Amino acid sequence: MATASPASDFAPVAAQAAAPARTRDPRLDFYRGIAMFIILIAHIPNDPWARWIPARFGFSDATEIFVFCSGMASAIAFGGAFLRKGWWLGTARVTFRIWQVYWAHIGLFFFVAMSMAALDLSGVFEKSYVSSLNLQHFFNDPMPQLVGIFTLTYVPNYFDILPMYLVVLAMMPLFMGLSRIGFWAVAVTSVAIWLVAQTGVLALPAEPWSQRQWFFNPFGWQLLFFTGFAFMRGWIPAPPVSKTLIWAAALFLVLSAPFGSWKVFLWVQAAAPDLATEIRKIWPLTAELRDKTDFGLFRYMHFLSLAYLGWVAAGEHGHRLIATGHSAGARVWQLVLKLITKVGQQSLAVFVFSMAAARLIGVALDQTGRDFASVFAANMIGFAMIIGVAYVAAWFKSHPWKTKK
């Protein structure tokens, strides 16, 4: 029997998967860019705009967009490396990315912790910004917390997305190895891990002085990541544009809203008190299904419904996200698309910056007040800053100092 090459070990899925992942879908960067803007708003303390982000109207939010799109982007960035160079070099490529994300997490924590400490030490502010992030444990007893930060056994609530992403990335070599058997092996394993995660036995400790666990359990959230990964690799075919599916997705979003959103529930209560009473009875029964930590089933269904409508709205191959025409409106739309897409292309740099900037924007709002003008200015300045970071990151990644031949 002839010996297969490393790349051929991924047959039969490799043949179908290689082609779809080579071209970067405009929908990927656009929606990931949208997520970055939402994440900034969500993390500015007491930002009134946060009342209108997707999380206030259903089970899923910008975190789901980030994780799903990261899975799609990983299929492009890393999945191809496994097919072209084999499992070992593919694993090395993922390991290098894990190394980058790990140090981004460490740097983010220490910058924010230093900033909050500097604000408290200034003596200018009445409140303690260190305590507002529950970081007093770190400063009161730094030695064990330093060990915890670097070993990811101390994960403060504000800094919990990147650790989850790290663990999910570390699972990629496993799933690419399983893909040698077939997509069914990948799917069964991912679903099995997700099911076990729902029991709580795979929860990871977040701090040594309490029983608190990681807010985002990576063993639950990997299901969404690898769903996006599978779509981009071509392991799962794109769903058809169907009126039945459109209506089904829309109805699920609408009917589930009172169960996933306190804001919507209050609207229902005001309009139909009897219906609200029945919803309140059912609400406790859905707690595990809408759980965010372990990524409950309703969150998965809600996001897939929302993603399907977004996919349909973008048009075939995302053609509605490619601005054409020369009118003033078309040029404005083209500029908006360009900026959002650029932010989506540099999501790690933008995410890390926005998490740090959000706290400082919150400090500024504490001083100015949160009237309409101040909030508008603060959010727009935040948007401008993350757009600027995206362009700067892209410039550095282009290696402009290298001599062009």
Q: Which DSSP string corresponds to 311-324?
A: HHHH-GGGGGGS--
pLDDT in tens, the chain (405 residues): 434 444 444 444 444 444 444 456 788 899 999 999 999 999 999 999 999 998 899 999 889 999 999 999 999 889 888 988 899 999 999 999 999 999 999 999 999 999 999 999 999 998 999 999 999 999 999 999 999 999 999 999 999 999 999 999 999 999 999 999 999 999 999 999 999 999 999 999 999 899 999 999 999 999 999 999 999 999 999 899 999 999 999 999 999 999 888 889 889 989 888 888 988 888 888 888 989 999 999 999 999 999 999 999 988 878 888 767 677 877 888 899 999 999 999 999 999 999 999 999 999 999 999 999 999 999 999 999 999 999 999 999 988 888 665
User: Which of 342-364 are b and which e, b meaning 16 or more Cβ less than 10 Å from the residue's Cβ?
Assistant: bbbbbbbbbbbbbbbbbbbbbbe
Phi, psi of 378 (to 5 degrees): -65, -45
Place of tokens 């220490």: 110
> How big is the CA angle at 88 (ends 182 and 189), to the nearest 5 degrees?
35
Q: What is the pLDDT of residue 370?
A: 94
- Distance (Å) of CA 201 to CA 152, 165, 195, 204, 226: 18, 19, 10, 9, 21
Q: Quote the CA–CA distance of 346 and 73 in Å, as a whole number.
A: 11
As a whole number of Å, the CA-based R_g of the chain is: 22
Q: Quote the CA–CA distance of 263 and 257 in Å, as a whole number.
A: 9
Using N-to-C axis directions, what is the helix angle for 297-314 and 243-260, rounded to 10°? 140
**In terms of Cα–Cα distance, which of 247, 256, 394, 314 is closest to 69?**
314
Q: Counting beta carbons within 10 angstroms of the beta carbon of residue 145, is it exposed (0 to 12), middle (13 to 18) or buried (19 or more)?
A: buried
Q: What is the pLDDT of residue 196?
A: 97
